[in-house]
Structure 1
Amino acid sequence: MVSDIDKFYRKAPQNPRSQSPNSITKTDRNPTDAKIDPYGTGIRPEPYRNGNGASILGPRNLDREKQDPDMIRPPSTDSGHLPNLKWSFADSHMKIEEGGWARETTVRELPTSVELAGVNMRLDEGAIRELHWHKEAEWAFVLEGVTRVTCIDAEGGNFSDDVHKGGLWYFPAGVPHSLQGLGPGGTEFLLIFDDGNFSEEETFLLSDLFAHIPKSVIAKNFRLTPEIFDRIPKGEKYIFQGSVPSTIELEQPSRGGIKPSRYQFTHNMTGQKPLEASGGQVRITDSTNFPISKTVAAAHVIIDPGCLRELHWHPSADEWAYFIKGRARITVFAASGTSRTFNYVAGDVGIVPKGMSHYVENLSEDEPVEFLEIFRSAKFEDFSLEQWLAETPDRLVKEHLFAGDKYNGKKFLDALKAGKDPIKAPVRDSKL
């Protein structure tokens, strides 16, 4: 037996391949604003929608348009004016250093990134992000490789750990620390800071500190003579090639009076048991399972091909999304009849301001979407649209949405599920 939803999909074409082998034309009809995936279908988006629009005659950036099909051909539901909520690290300035590089996405690159800032950093094997500290807290997710981290806490406790792919670290504001790439190929990671105005140029660096304090004072501070410091660096080192470290045990300082920290600054995020949804997986890391992380909470999300991170919103913090794999679209509803749709690929950053409803749809039928939802908050919180309606009296829901339409109102109410299913699998008849 064919389900009603499958009858609908059979009647409503999911892409306009039948109208044109290469691109959307004026004859295209897509009344439900179904997704378009130029990479998966080979169909080029054009500014035509349900008989409206016209071709582009002037210069074009076809590669960019292919990545942003809902920019060139927005859904009919887009309305009003929302500021830009998307940035790609590919458009960020690359700071190239000895043994590594860094590039950032802050409020300067993306004005809507007011609560958090991000830095994408690479350290080759043995390369060191020099001893430093920040005015802001630092949260990090390892994208590839292994990173050696060291720090001391505010009580003078010593901490070191090797953080592997999918692992995190968090250093509260002011905590001095260092990072180093380990193993063949080194490491790459995403750094998050709990202030959108953060700048890598304003980091407090050890070499920079020594270069800008009188040598007489440095000598007095360390009970030495000034000439000891004649050959110290004359400016910041930032990232530089160092020697390959030994094990953590062999690297520990040998002098007396050192105590281990009683705080855990690292966490294996992808090693957590996931919440298994019908259309993917979610792992949440916040202060409830990573207590040191008081200002940053995050979810690691995998959306299976063709599936949907459900309609939801976050009540107390903006979402700072970072896409690791796949192709996705997000529509942000900002109230007052305003909504706008954006498309994202790996390396992109998306902002969703607090309270604004949105979804994340996997555009591909073959590849999963993997991304991070990150918040300036001690705890991860969201509200599910379906869960809300499922736990609201049926009469209220029906009279809001289906007044005078008992048949479809009953079908809608029967379909509602009160349980949590943050990633929805598409409904398909098992016999098809």
Structure 2
Amino acid sequence: MSTGSPYWVSLTEAEAAFQSDLGSIQIVDGQNLPILSRLSIKRVVLAPGAIREPQWNVNANQLAYVVSGEVLVSLLASGGEFASFVVGEGQMYHVESGAVYHIENLGSADAVIIIALRNERPQHFSLRDSLSAMTNPVLGNTYDLPSTAFAAFQRAPAEQIFARRGSITIDPTQKLPNARLFDVQGQHAPLSYAYGSANLARKQFWAALDDISMYSLQIKEDGMREPHWHPVTAEMGYVAKGRARMRVLAPDVTLGEYELGPGDVYFVPRAYPHHIEVLDEEGFHFLIFFDQPTPGDVGYRATATAFSREVLAGTFGISERELPQFPFTPQDPLIVARHNPVGATE
């Protein structure tokens, strides 16, 4: 697994936790990126006709984004609440911790899903392992059947991904809106500029989110994510497309600078200043996950408006005359135009 900084690692180059002709599962968690806190990430690839076995998370809500393909998600939550819905490319789904769910590829090409989990060391149970833990008499009593009804059940470990054995029929109701489904790329971007946009999957727009959220950030060659920090929010990003440079400042004033490409994952602890800059002509697309349902930030641009010129001049040890004419900014724009070339220092 390639790495160039304690802040990032490649998810697509991570050793597969599971791999077969039917698909793969790759994970970046606190074990292979120790700086992670309250967040981790998985990449699940399902071949046509493949099914991710029913399972549930023990200690983490999850937020998933379908990068490519179309999948069926079915789940059962506490209180007998059942849901089954189709998720397409650019859409998201949410599964709360403890709800048992499955993912099934409906298309003729691979389905790729990026899943953020609200714990740096997530754990899960599979439905197969949980039933295998019980004896045939116990299972018979549970389902009001003779114990011999379960004689064919194998007690081998769960397969994680297996093949569909028959055809599948989608009920029209499975394509209806659902509280756990969110069309983030179909959203009219709340933040949109000529040089970039941000679609926001947060509680303001998706009521199901309690402790996690996501920004789909797309910035063109002439844009930049301004330097900023999140006072109470950690940030974990996945590079869906493009290349970018990132800088992060730690409290001991050490500076981390690194380049990110497709498939990379980065993490910025809460309140660490950082910024993101495009490195090539195609721009970039980041999926940025937060450990809060409504993330907030403080940007450098508005910070220059918050203090008097006398205070700013004293802070930087120059005269007021030498101080730049900062634009009046009562609210940070999140994305700014990039008038200066990459790597410019003057």
The TM-score, its normalising length taken from structure 1, stands at: 0.73
Residue 81 of structure 2 corresponds to residue 157 of structure 1: yes
Which structure dedicates a bigger proportion of its chain to helix? Answer: 1
CA contact (8 A) 1:182 1:244 kept: no
Question: Which residue of 2 is the match for residue 233 of structure 1?
Answer: 154
Q: Determine which of 212, 221, 225 is the counterpart of 1:305.
A: 221
Q: 1:421 to 1:208 in 2, by over 3 A?
A: same
SS at match of 1:148: strand
Residue 50 of structure 2 corresponds to residue 127 of structure 1: yes
Q: Which residues of 2 match residues 175-194 of structure 1 at below 5 A?
A: 175-194=99-118
Once the 2 structures are TM-superposed, how far is the Cα of residue 402 of structure 1 from its aligned partner?
A: 6.2
Q: Determine which of 56, 59, 62 is the counterpart of 1:138.
A: 62
Distance (whole Å) between structure 2 residues aligned to residue 84 and residue 314 of structure 1: 19
**CA RMSD of superposed structures (Å):** 2.3
Residue 334 of structure 2 corresponds to residue 422 of structure 1: yes
Residue type at the aligned position of 1:344: L
Q: Determine which of 353, 362, 383 is the counterpart of 2:298.
A: 383
Question: Which residue of 1 is the match for residue 179 of structure 2?
Answer: 264
Distance (whole Å) between structure 2 residues aligned to residue 241 and residue 178 of structure 1: 13
SS at match of 1:322: strand
Once the 2 structures are TM-superposed, how far is the Cα of residue 107 of structure 1 from its aligned partner?
A: 0.7
Distance (whole Å) between structure 1 residues aligned to residue 155 and residue 21 of structure 2: 16
Structure 1 stretches lacking a partner, 5+ long: 1-63, 72-82, 253-259
Structure 2 stretches lacking a partner, 5+ long: 341-346
CA contact (8 A) 2:214 2:290 kept: yes
Distance (whole Å) between structure 2 residues aligned to residue 171 and residue 352 of structure 1: 24
Distance (whole Å) between structure 1 residues aligned to residue 36 and residue 8 of structure 2: 9
Question: Which residue of 1 is the match for residue 6 of structure 2?
Answer: 84
Q: Deviations over 1:165-203 (max 9, x none)?
A: 1111111110111110111104111111111112xxx42
Distance (whole Å) between structure 1 residues aligned to residue 233 and residue 254 of structure 2: 20
Once the 2 structures are TM-superposed, how far is the Cα of residue 108 of structure 1 from its aligned partner?
A: 0.8
Once the 2 structures are TM-superposed, how far is the Cα of residue 277 of structure 1 from its aligned partner?
A: 3.0
SS at match of 2:70: strand
Distance (whole Å) between structure 2 residues aligned to residue 209 and residue 337 of structure 1: 48
Q: 1:209 to 1:96 in 2, by over 3 A?
A: same
Question: Which residue of 2 is the match for residue 17 of structure 1?
Answer: none
Residue type at the aligned position of 1:239: I
What is the percentage of aligned positions where both structures have the same residue?
Answer: 20
Question: Which residue of 1 is the match for residue 344 of structure 2?
Answer: none
Q: 1:251 to 1:272 in 2, by over 3 A?
A: closer
Q: Deviations over 1:47-67 (max 9, x none)?
A: xxxxxxxxxxxxxxxxx7xxx
Once the 2 structures are TM-superposed, how far is the Cα of residue 218 of structure 1 from its aligned partner?
A: 0.3
Residue 202 of structure 2 corresponds to residue 286 of structure 1: yes
Q: Which has the larger radius of gyration?
A: 1
Residue 271 of structure 2 corresponds to residue 355 of structure 1: yes
Q: Deviations over 1:285-341 (max 9, x none)?
A: 112211111121111101111421100011112111111111111110113322111
Q: 1:251 to 1:421 in 2, by over 3 A?
A: closer
Q: Deviations over 1:78-121 (max 9, x none)?
A: xxxxx711100233112213521111101111111122111100
Distance (whole Å) between structure 1 residues aligned to residue 167 and residue 248 of structure 2: 46
The TM-score, its normalising length taken from structure 2, stands at: 0.90
Question: Which residue of 1 is the match for residue 287 of structure 2?
Answer: 372
SS at match of 1:120: strand
Q: How many correspondences in the alignment?
A: 334
